[in-house]
Amino acid sequence: MGPFDAVIHNAGIGYYGRSRVETEDGLSDVFAVNVLAPYLLTALVTPPERLIYLSSGMHHSGDTTLRDPQWTRRPWQGSQAYSESKLYLTALAMAVARRWPSTLSNAVDPGWVPTKMGGSSATDDLQAAPVTQAWLAAGDDSAARVTGSYFHHQQPRTPHPATRSRELQDRLLEYCAGLSQVGFPVG
């Protein structure tokens, strides 16, 4: 199909009131969908001009150790598993920005919005939620043509400091490569 102009990694699984669910491969479905799938899709496509990864403000509570990302040795805590998956996804966006300098790679917190996943008590604006990712995918102004940033409502925000750690990024890429048997290509 050739290269894409932009890819938005928008799929995600929440945690609300559910126990740990395994994929056929024995992986936590939260990790598989929120982290491994975007890793694989990124690793297998021709690098596009722009990549956008949907994160969450909850990534700030993620454990940065990568000690048990599948939750096989820890008692399941859905909220924490979700937070960690979004921390790893944000680190993936930063790793791609570092490794593929010709691709604009950014993470977005769309806000806590009233969707099936966000629930009816969510307080953010549903109409504003998709604006930032669309702007990063197609915007021509200089503010949208950046890489290695984290945004909320078209404004740069500070991500968890660990997401910018080369060590965490490389360990995450190695971990995903080991799970998938697909190495991350050189940019």
Q: Where are the alpha helices (DSSP H) in 73-186?
A: 78-99, 131-138, 166-180
- Whether 98 contacts 165, CB under 8 Å: no
What is the C-alpha to C-alpha distance for residues 171 and 187, in angstroms, rounded to an integer? Answer: 18
Which run of H or E residues covers position 106?
strand 104-109
82 an active-site residue?
yes
Sheet holding 50-54, edge to edge: 6-9, 50-54, 104-109, 149-152, 155-157
116 an active-site residue?
no
Please pick, among 15, 39, 53, 86, the residue that the annotation labels catalytic. 86
Q: What is the DSSP letter of 142?
A: G
Which run of H or E residues covers position 4?
none
Please pick, among 15, 39, 53, 82, the residue that the annotation labels catalytic. 82
CB atoms within 10 A of CB 165: 16
Q: Where are the alpha helices (DSSP H) in the chain?
A: 29-31, 37-44, 78-99, 131-138, 166-180
Catalogue the active-site residues.
Answer: 82, 86
